[in-house]
């Protein structure tokens, strides 16, 4: 099981999804995406084996660019930095889309 720390960048082995860890989980979890563990390896490694990233903002069912995903039980929070067809899961629980906070533009 990979240690998950805030600021860490993780990639799906099954699709184009890439995330950055915003908040680490309060207990160790197995982080997967499309059924395979997410890893810190650069995108170049094994890229050929992966399907192409979903185009555009990753609408529909996949992970969407710039959206945040939450695992309520552990507090794990991820920011999607590259969209893909699959949404990450923690110990098999699919992460949920975090609702945007309606803050006014202050700068």
Partner 1 sequence: MAASGHPDRVAVGRLRSTAADAAPLSYPDLLARARAGAVALRERGATELVYLGVSGNAFAQALFASAWAGIPLVPLNYRLGRDQLAELLGRHAGALVVSDLEPPARGPVLTTGAWDALCARPAADADPWRDDQDATAILLYTSGTTSAPKAAVLRHRHLTSYLLGSVEFGAADETHAMLVSVPPYHIAGVSNLLSNVYAGRRIVYLESFTPEGWLESVRDEGVTHALLVPTMLARLTEHLAGPDGHLAGPHAAAVPTLRNLAYGGAKMPAPVLERATRLFPAVDFVNAYGLTETSSTIAVLGPDDHRAALSGDPVAKARLGSVGKLLPGIEAQVRAPDGAVMPEGGIGDVFVRGDQVSGEYRGTASAVDADGWLATRDRGWIDDEGYLFIEGRADDTIIRGGENLAPAEIEDVLLDHPAVAEAAVVGIPDEQWGQDIAAVIVPRAGHAADAGELQAWVRSRLRSAKTPAVIVFRDSLPHTPTGKLLRREVLADLLANP
Q: Which residues form the interface with partner 1 (CB under 8 A)? A: 6-7, 9, 22, 57, 65-68, 79, 81-82, 100-101, 103-107
Residue 83 CB, nearest approach to partner 1 (Å): 8
Residue 74 CB, nearest approach to partner 1 (Å): 18
Q: CA 100: distance to chain centroid?
A: 17
3-state secondary structure of 49: helix
Q: Which is nearer to partner 1, 35 or 75 (CB)?
A: 75
Residue 105 sits at φ, ψ, to 5 deg, of -65, 120
């Amino acid at each position: 099981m990979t240690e998950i720390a805030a600021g860490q960048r993780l990639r799906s082995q099954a699709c184009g999804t890439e995330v950055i860890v915003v908040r680490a989980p309060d207990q160790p979890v197995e982080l997967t995406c499309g059924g395979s563990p997410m890893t810190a390896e650069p995108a170049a490694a094994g890229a050929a084996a992966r399907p192409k990233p979903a185009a555009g903002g990753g609408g529909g069912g996949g992970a969407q660019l710039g959206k945040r995903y939450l695992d309520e039980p552990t507090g794990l929070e991820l920011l999607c930095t590259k969209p893909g067809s699959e949404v990450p899961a923690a110990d098999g629980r699919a992460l949920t889309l975090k609702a945007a906070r309606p803050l006014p533009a202050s700068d």
